[in-house]
């Protein structure tokens, strides 16, 4: 692999990893703070230490290479940086800082380029530590650590790291520092792709802070382990059998094939949809000065936030302001919400099915499986049904006075965002109680498994409904789509539903005690958090300290799912050979 650090001997990689850490902390001090003289000195020390370690590592790697010519051919970018740094140091020592050579090296920004390279290398070092040192994926599989536990720990680590970055001085406007609890809440909401906020994203964060939130959304939407696996593929390491098992347990998708292929599909699909979405949103905004930051950043932010179903917006009123009058913006975001809520596996199968239909080829490779058919039918039904009901309920209310086409667009948009993200084009305070109840139901249902949407998932509702019909008819097993349901799937669906209702009940009770708001407002906030939706009736910014931790817990549970959390706390299930006598209990 071209100048891949993973191809170097281990001790050289360790030195480079230390250099990357120093460079990373140096950049954080330099760009994340308003440096005092002492901080500048510390940043310079870290940066020059990183550069020194980089030179040592490069020298050792070149010296130990079997073929110097081959090494220089494969690692020429790092070698060129090393030569330029040595030349600059020699010129400074010789007192020739004013010569044309020194000025040329300064113009080339060798220091900054090298530090940026070290940060990129540090990302690769995460893979080195995950694969080479603690052997994260394989160790979790071989040391009897549940894959779900790895998922939970990865999300917790990302949330804590994000909270620390959001507390950097340059992440917020001068004089408006972010406290630890609010930073933790914002980071949790971003990583769990929810969108509930205790501080206005538009005015409470700088562009640097918004960029941190954007990165947390992307990492939370794709998942730490899928990105780590993608980096492993990028540097030519590959994914082992046990790592594939871990990824399949944590990210179950109805796509056959190697985990490496699945990860590539996920990354490429994400880049494609988010890039196209950003371009369309940029065109839809029309070049107006919507925010203090660059317009392209606003477009990228909303595209990523929509595809990851996060609901964060750089507009103080979400999309209820001037953006509500931009059909291209709303249509693009609606499409991104729907696609993100379907799941990567379903979108892949749907694309293969459409391609097969267009080419007139029908075979096993381009047929829609039962899971995909259930997800597509229910998602379309909920989108259309929710839009029709919301439109009917608010036709003379919140939608009154708008053109007919705008009413339909806003009704469909609100139906889509209720099950996935927290964008809103209407003032929720003006909605009727019936509309609020309908939105609570849609938020509780959510999207599809393996997607960025939350809720109990549409497949859970489908299995529950099929099982209910079977019980009414006296059938021993439910049927769905011409297939008999596996009792294990029915059991898991009932567990998810029960856990969802239990979390809502517990969260609702605690918040009613701590916040003292109405039942409707509190229930809306609780279900929005558990469903990782992010819509709010105004309670979240006013939450007490206990209330904020309750909402954080609900967002975390909603993002990971009750089964994943349960799997992280329990050991491997052991089948018992002992069978006890059956008991009879009256029900109903």
Nearest to 500 by CA among 567, 441, 439: 441
Nearest to 320 by CA among 204, 439, 427: 427
For 328-362, what is each residue's pLDDT tens digit? 999 999 999 999 888 877 888 888 888 887 777 76
Higher-pLDDT residue of 160, 30: 160
Question: What is the pLDDT confidence band of residue 60, given thresholds at 50, 70 and 90?
Answer: confident
Give the least confident one: 83-92, 408-417, 541-550: 83-92
Instruction: Answer whether residue 233 shows pLDDT above 60.
Output: no
Instruction: Answer whether residue 46 shows pLDDT above 60.
Output: yes
Higher-pLDDT residue of 581, 547: 547
CB-hemisphere CA count at 13 Å for 543? 27
Question: What is the pLDDT confidence band of residue 33, given thresholds at 50, 70 and 90?
Answer: confident
Instruction: Answer whether residue 175 shows pLDDT above 90.
Output: no
| % of the chain residues with pLDDT over 70 | 72
Domain boundaries along the sequence of the chain? 1-133
Instruction: Answer whether residue 240 shows pLDDT above 60.
Output: no
Give the pLDDT of residue 162. 92
Instruction: Answer whether residue 91 shows pLDDT above 60.
Output: no
For residues 542-554, average pLDDT: 94
- pTM for this entry: 0.80
Backbone angles phi, psi at 419, to 5 degrees: -95, -5
Higher-pLDDT residue of 561, 448: 448
Give the least confident one: 60-64, 354-358, 563-567: 563-567
Question: What is the pLDDT confidence band of residue 325, given thresholds at 50, 70 and 90?
Answer: confident
User: Distances in Å between the alpha carbon of 136 and those of 18, 153, 233, 239, 242?
Assistant: 19, 11, 15, 12, 11
Mean residue pLDDT of the chain comes to 78
In the numeric block, the tokens 């229930």 are attached to 523
Give the pLDDT of residue 486. 82
Question: What is the pLDDT confidence band of residue 389, given thresholds at 50, 70 and 90?
Answer: very high
Give the pLDDT of residue 505. 96
Q: Please count the other Cβ atoms lying within 10 Å of the Cβ belonging to residue 117.
A: 18
In the numeric block, the tokens 């509309």 are attached to 435
For 473-515, what is each residue's pLDDT tens digit? 877 777 887 788 888 888 888 888 999 999 999 999 999 999 9
DSSP states of 325-355: G-HHHHHHHHHHHHHHHH-HHHHHHHHHHHH
Contacts of 347 (CB under 8 A, 6+ apart): 269, 339
Give the least confident one: 41-55, 194-208, 456-470: 41-55
3-class state of residue 479 by DSSP: strand
Which of 228-242, 364-378, 390-404, 566-580 has the highest mean predicted lDDT (pLDDT)? 390-404
Give the pLDDT of residue 184. 96
For residues 424-429, average pLDDT: 86
Give the pLDDT of residue 269. 84
For residues 190-214, average pLDDT: 91
Could you give the CA distance from residue 463 to residue 378 in angstroms, rounded to a whole number? 12
Could you give the CA distance from residue 210 to residue 527 in angstroms, rounded to a whole number? 26
- DSSP class of 570: S
For residues 537-564, average pLDDT: 89
Give the least confident one: 201-210, 245-254, 383-392, 456-465: 245-254
């Amino acid at each position: 692999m071209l100048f891949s650090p993973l191809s170097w001997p281990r001790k050289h990689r360790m030195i480079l990893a230390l250099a990357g850490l120093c460079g990373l902390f140096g950049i954080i001090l330099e760009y994340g703070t308003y440096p005092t003289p002492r901080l500048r000195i510390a940043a310079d020390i870290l940066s020059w230490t990183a550069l020194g370690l980089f030179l040592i590592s490069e020298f050792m790697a070149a010296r130990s290479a079997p073929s110097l010519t081959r090494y220089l051919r494969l690692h020429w970018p790092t070698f060129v940086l090393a030569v330029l740094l040595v030349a600059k140091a020699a010129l400074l020592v010789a007192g020739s800082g004013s010569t044309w050579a020194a000025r040329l090296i300064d113009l080339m920004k060798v220091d900054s380029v090298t530090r940026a390279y070290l940060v990129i290398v540090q990302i690769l070092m995460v893979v080195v530590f995950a694969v080479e040192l603690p052997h994260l994926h394989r160790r979790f599989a071989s040391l009897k650590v549940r894959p779900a536990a790895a998922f939970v720990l990865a999300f917790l680590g990302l949330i804590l790291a994000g909270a620390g970055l959001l507390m950097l001085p340059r992440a917020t406007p001068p004089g408006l520092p972010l406290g630890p609890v609010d930073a933790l809440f914002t980071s949790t909401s971003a990583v769990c792709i929810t969108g509930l906020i205790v501080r206005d994203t538009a005015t409470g964060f700088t562009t640097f802070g918004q960029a941190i939130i954007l990165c947390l959304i992307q990492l939370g939407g794709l998942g730490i382990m899928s990105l780590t696996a993608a980096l492993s593929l990028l540097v030519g390491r590959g994914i082992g059998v046990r790592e594939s098992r871990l990824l399949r347990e944590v990210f179950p998708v109805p796509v056959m094939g190697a985990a490496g292929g699945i990860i590539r599909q996920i990354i490429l699909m994400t880049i494609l949809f988010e890039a196209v979405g950003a371009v369309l949103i940029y065109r839809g905004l029309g070049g107006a000065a919507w925010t203090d930051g660059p317009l392209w950043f606003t477009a990228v932010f909303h595209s990523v936030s929509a595809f990851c179903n996060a609901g964060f917006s750089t507009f103080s009123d979400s999309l209820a302001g001037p953006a509500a009058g931009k059909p291209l913006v709303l249509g693009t975001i609606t499409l991104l919400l729907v696609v993100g809520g379907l799941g990567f596996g379903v979108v892949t199968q749907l694309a293969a099915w459409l391609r097969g239909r267009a080419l007139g080829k029908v075979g096993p490779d381009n047929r829609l499986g039962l899971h995909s058919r259930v997800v597509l039918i229910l998602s379309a039904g909920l989108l259309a049904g929710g839009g029709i009901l919301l439109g009917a309920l608010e036709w003379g209310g919140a939608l009154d006075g708008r053109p007919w086409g705008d009413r339909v667009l806003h009704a469909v948009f609100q139906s889509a965002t209720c099950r996935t993200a927290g964008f809103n084009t209407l003032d929720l305070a003006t909605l009727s109680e019936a509309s609020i109840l309908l939105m609570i139901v849609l938020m509780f249902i959510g999207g599809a498994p393996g997607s960025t949407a939350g809720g109990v998932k549409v497949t859970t509702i489908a299995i529950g409904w099929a099982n209910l019909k079977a019980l009414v008819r006296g059938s021993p097993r439910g049927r769905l789509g011409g297939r008999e349901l596996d009792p294990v799937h029915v059991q898991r669906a009932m567990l998810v539903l029960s856990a969802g209702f239990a979390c809502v009940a517990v969260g609702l009770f605690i918040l009613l005690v701590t916040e003292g708001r109405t039942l409707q407002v509190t229930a809306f906030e609780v279900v929005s958090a558990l469903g990782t939706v992010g819509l709010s009736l105004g309670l979240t910014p006013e939450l007490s300290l206990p209330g904020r931790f309750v909402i954080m817990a609900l967002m975390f549970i909603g993002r990971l799912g009750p089964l994943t959390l349960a799997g992280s706390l329990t050991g491997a299930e052991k089948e018992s050979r002992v069978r006890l006598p059956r008991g009879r209990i009256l029900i109903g």
